[in-house]
Structures are given as structure tokens and as C-alpha cells.
Structure 1
Amino acid sequence: MIPVKLLLTGILAVLTTACASTQNPDPDSDKRELTGLYDYRIIDPDTDKTLSVTALADQWQDADVIVIGEFHGHNGAHLLEARLQSALYKLRPNQILSMEQFTVDHQTAVDRYLAGETGEEELIKEGAAWNNYKASYRPLVAFAADHHLPVVGANAPADIARCVGREGKQAIDGISADKQQWLPTNPLFSPPGYRERFFGAMGGHHGNTGDPRLENSYLAQLLRDNTMATSIERALAEQPGDQVIHLTGTFHSEGRSGTVAALLHRSPSLNIKVLSPVIADDPRVPALEKADRVKGDAVYLLYPLPDEYKSDDARNAAIAERFKQAPQPACD
């Protein structure tokens, strides 16, 4: 028979633990060390404090648009996206998922899947889903489908973006009438400072700012940014009061540039929050550099990815093969 004193002590311990769990649902929210590729740490850049997903959702529940920048294919980034989507839904269930990973000309395929008319393999084929769809984006789209939420294919049509990247502005000037519907107004709007940032990031690999290939690549980047901004704006107009969660590569959003700047140019009154990733130099003691603190309204630290190649020859051969196999659409 258990003594009454010990029994009462045990009950008190259970109650105390339960209260602590309720008050702090994320026991690792105050820790900084990263332990693997599925790990992440959300940081408030103003206070340097670590935030749980629940705390961030609570702070941002009133935002019109939440833009989550990602490193495509990073396990931790995609896990965070799915958890934040769920946390925000609990606070504000009128939610729209907007995705760079689907294009505006494949919206019908996305809608058919959400309506239960097609299966996942049909979505992947008909919607031209990215190769990492199942590993990275399936949980988010499935969550939207389960809760009857819209999913917006926000990006520019791939063939038009490729043509702009190959031929420049003339590809837009000569686009056929049936494809005009996919173009945003002012499709090549360029926010202040964005061109310099793009050239600074790409110039080391593609030559100097006089390289016409780099100039055209920048125009293709602008087309994607402005198309995504227009897609978000349209979604909010169609469902006023809803909250948009937009997923995109971090270059399109960090520092509130790219898509974010294009969206604010169109709708200056929008309350937009940006979450940006940073790869930790040292996962044991990850820290934010000064330059990292301006990348978003909050940032999240990620574990470093494995090296893709150790051999320069292997890397160069892979890049050459990738360009060789890239689709070459007929430009109008």
C-alpha cells in the first residue's frame, strides 16, 4: 500500500508537470542548438529570443499575408512550414495557401485535386509539380485539402519565364493572345535595390552586369515575382479577410524585396510578415550575423545541408547535364 504522503506528492508532481506543459507547449523553444536536418530555431531578430511555432503564430495571426522563405528541399524548412500552417489555422481558419511551386496556368489541376476529382499522381503530372513534391509539399497541400482550404498556384508559367530568360523583354512583347491571361500588370516591375542584389548574388557565377544572359535572367526573376504578387493580391480580393500563407524561395522574399516589394507596390496597406531561413555556420552554437537580422520579421536557423559535390569536375558535369536536359520551349 502506497503511503498517503507519497501518493499526494506524486499527484502534485503530475499536476505541476501538466501545468508547465500547458504553459510551454514547446519545451525546446528556449534552446538554440540544432541537432539535425529536421531541426530549426525561430529567432526574433530584434530581441534575439527563440520563439516556438505557437508563439510566432500568436504574434502573426493578424497579418494579411505571411511569406515563408525556404531553401528548396531542406527538411527543416518544410517541417516548419507545415507546423506553422497548422498553428495559424487554429487561430485563423480562413486560410489560403499560396505556392511558388505551382504555376498560374496549372491552377485548374490544383483545383481538381482539391475537389477530389483527381488523385495525387494526377496532380503531380497535370499540375507539373516539382520533383520534391511528395517529400516537401505534400503535407501542406494535404492539410489544405483536408480542411477545404484554397491552394493558389502563384508562379509564372514555366515556358514564359524560360523564354524571358532566353530572349529578354521581347519574349513578353511577342507573347500570343491566349497566354496574355497569365501575365500580371507591369510584369517587369523592379523594386529599388533588387537588381543590385540579384547581380551581386549571381555575378560570381555568370559574369559581370553586362552579360545579356544575366540581364535576361533578372527579367525572368521579375516576371516570377510580379506574377506571385498578383496571384496573392487576387486571392485576397476573391476571399477578403482570409490570411494568405505564401511559400517561396528565400531570395524572392528576404529583406522584404522581390515578391514582397512587388505586392506592397500593388497593395501598400497590406500587413505582411516575412519569415526567412539562415543556415547556421555552427549548429552547436548557431548565431545570427548582423546581415541576417534584416532578412525577415523573424528568421529561422537551419542545420547545414550535406555538400552536394566534393569534386569540381563532378559539379561542373552535373550543371552541364542539367542545362542540356532543360526544356527548350518554342517562344512566340
Structure 2
Amino acid sequence: MKIIGILILFLLPNMVVLAQEVETQEFVEAEIILKDKNGKNSSLENVVQAVEERPLVFFGELHDNEQAHKVQLKLLTLLNKVHPTVVLGMEMFETDVQHIIDEYFADLISQKSFESEARVWSNYQNDYKPLVEFAKANKIKLIASNVPRRYANAVYKQGITVLDKFDSRVRSFMAKLPLKVDTTLTTYQDMREMLPGHDATNMIFSQALKDATMAEFILKNYQEGQVFLHINGAYHSKMKEGIISFFPKDIQQKVLTINTVKREEVTPELLATADFTLIVD
């Protein structure tokens, strides 16, 4: 009886962990509602197949939606199983912390040091840490793609010309200047309607600085034969604009987009603007 009791004590923690993993997997599988651009039911397996021809994958998320984050991890897991080289890029990390990411992935610094110095988002622990840790464990390179927030904020406060006043040493953290921004894009015009006047122009250029920087750092780290999965807010890749508008035309042909939309906002017109749409509550 004593031996049986010891075995139970030994196995119980592992059984609990296994149950949690199964519960998470069942949640993801049961809750995924994915549509193609024609409104037909689809699946992550269909996404993986489509990646063969369009290897630059943009997962446009709603930052506070737990379900979308679970689906991202599931997709990364599937891509890693099928493709020999997968690269993960994330809006949630700014370009000036790339060396901190690299140090952590090389086991040169602790997890605690990484998380405190890489300026992780407030929802990192639940929503983004699983992606980062999966990438690290599976030797998937993680690219910090977003412009440091202080520069985007400076543009919003003072206009795009403020970037000319910064020391040349910081130029390596952002897209090449001057920016060529198509302010007629629908997503940028939507911003103008939110904030009429001078503030709207600054907001558009602040957003464009983020988009252009992400585009540039994705292309810097993408090589033929790779699959590049980029995680960003839905607005950055909505309607295949934002980040994608800063790609050359030939590169745009390699882009596949996943848009995350709340159930009550789904329309046929909206579904048609992305290759796949994840529908969430």
C-alpha cells in the first residue's frame, strides 16, 4: 500500500499537467471558427497548405482576445511541424531589444532578466509568453519588428519631421527615412475620421512609422524558402494595407493574411478583405 501511495504522489502532478494540456488543446480545437475570403468554413490545416505559395503570414489579432492567442500558438506549432524553417516576428517587441531576445534564446541571460529588460506588454504572461517560449524551445528565431514606442510617440506629438532631429545612431531602429506614406489607404483614412484636423495627420504618420518599420525588419530577416509568421494588431494588416503597403509589389504576392473579427461584426465584405478570418466572441 505504501508503494502504491508513493506512485500516486509521483504520478499525480504529471496527470494534472497532462489534463491541463488536453483541456487547452480541446478548447482550441472546439472554439476555432475560421472562414476563407468567400465565407466558407476553413481550418488551420488549410492555412498551412496555403503557406506553400504565400509564406509571409500576417496574423492580425485583437490584443485582448485570449482565444486568438491560443490559435496563434496552435498555428505556430503546425507550421513548425510541416516546414523546415519557420521565423516568428512580433509587433510586441521593439527593434532596440533584439539583442536581448537573442541573448535569452542563447541562454546567456535569465528569463527574469529578459522579461524585465525587453519591455514586455502587460498581458505578456498569459498571451505572448507561450509563443515566445515555444519559439525558444524549438529554436525558432524571434524577430522584434516594431519601432521603439518613443519615436512613434514623438511623431504623434510633434509631426513626422521630428525624426530628422534624432541622432543618426537611432536610425537603425526604424524604417529608412524619408517615409513614403500612401495616406489615401482606407485604414489610414479611417484614422482621419477618428481625429479630424492636425492630430489625425500626426496619428497617420505615427502608425505609418510602425508599419514601415515592421515591413523593413520583416524583409531584413526573411529568406527564400522560409515561412515567416508575424503577429500584429489586426489594424496593421487589415485589408492587406498597413505593413503590407510598404512591401514591393512582388513581395505582396507572397503575403497571406488572417484577420481576427468579433462575431457580431462579421460581414461578407469584411471576410473578403483577408485570406482567412478568425471569428471570436
Please tell me whether the aligned partners of residues 189 and 222 of structure 1 are also in contact (alpha carbons under 8 angstroms). Answer: no
CA contact (8 A) 1:256 1:274 kept: yes
Runs of 4 or more above 6 Å deviation: none
How far apart, CA to CA, are the structure 2 residues paired with 1:168 and 1:121? 36
Name whichever of 59-68 and 90-99 sits farther off. Answer: 59-68
Following superposition of structure 1 onto structure 2, how do residues 53-202 of structure 1 map, counting pairs within 5 Å? 53-186=44-177, 188-191=179-182, 193-194=184-185, 196-201=186-191
**Superposition pairs of residues 243-322 of structure 1, within 5 angstroms:** 243-264=227-248, 268=251, 270-281=253-264, 288-303=266-281
Q: Which runs of 5+ in 2 are unaligned?
A: 1-25
- Greater relative contact order, per chain length (Cα 8 Å cut-off, separation 6+): 2
For the pair 1:242 / 2:226, whether they are aligned, the reply is yes
Calculate percent identity across the aligned residue pairs: 22
- Structure number having the greater helix percentage: 2
Give the Å deviation of 1:121: 2.2
| Aligned position for 1:44 | 36
Deviations 1:253-285 (A, max 9, x none): 0110000111245x536511000011011xxxx
User: Within 1, Cα distance between the matches of 2:253 and 2:119?
Assistant: 31
- Distance in 2, matches of 1:174 and 1:186, equals 12
Q: Which amino acid counterpart does residue 49 of structure 1 have in structure 2?
A: K
Larger radius of gyration: 1
**Counterpart residue number, 1:32:** none
Equivalent residue of 1:268, what SS?
helix
Partners of 2:37 and 2:273 within 8 A in 1: no
Query: TM-score under structure 1 normalisation?
Result: 0.72
Indicate which of 216, 237, 243 corresponds to 2:202.
Answer: 216
Contact 2:191 2:204 in 1 (8 A): no
- Matched residues in 2 for 1:162 and 1:180: separation? 16
Which segment drifts farther, 221-230 or 135-144?
A: 135-144
**How big is the shift at 1:120?**
2.4
- The secondary structure found in structure 1 opposite 2:57 is strand
Please give the alpha-carbon distance, in whole angstroms, between the structure 2 residues aligned to 1:112 and 1:268: 30
Change (3 A) 1:187 1:155: farther
Return 5+ residue gaps in structure 1 as ranges. 1-25, 30-34, 282-286, 304-332
SS at match of 1:73: coil
Instruction: Report how far residue 215 of structure 1 moved.
Output: 1.2
Question: Deviation of residue 225 (structure 1)?
Answer: 0.3
Q: CA deviation digits over 1:193-241, x for unaligned, max 9?
A: 32x533424634x3x2x2x2221111110100000000010001xx442
Question: CA 1:264–1:67 in 2, change beyond 3 Å: closer, same or farther?
Answer: farther
Aligned partner of residue 131 in structure 1, secondary structure? coil
What whole-Å deviation, never above 9, does each CA across 1:160-200 have from its counterpart, x for those lacking one? 11111111122111111221222322453323632x53342
CA offsets, 1:121-158, max 9 Å, x none? 21222111111111111111111101111100000011
One-letter amino acid matched to 2:121: W
Name the structure 2 match of 1:17: none
Cα distance in 2 between the residues matched to 1:186 and 1:178: 13
Residue 37 of structure 2 aligns to which amino acid in structure 1? P
Report the Cα distance in structure 2 between the residues aligned to 1:294 and 1:192, rounded to whole angstroms: 22
Aligned-partner Cα distance in 2 for 1:299–1:163: 34
Q: Which letter does structure 2 place at the counterpart of 1:302?
A: V
Query: AA paired with 1:218?
Result: I
2:111, 2:247 → 1: CA distance? 31
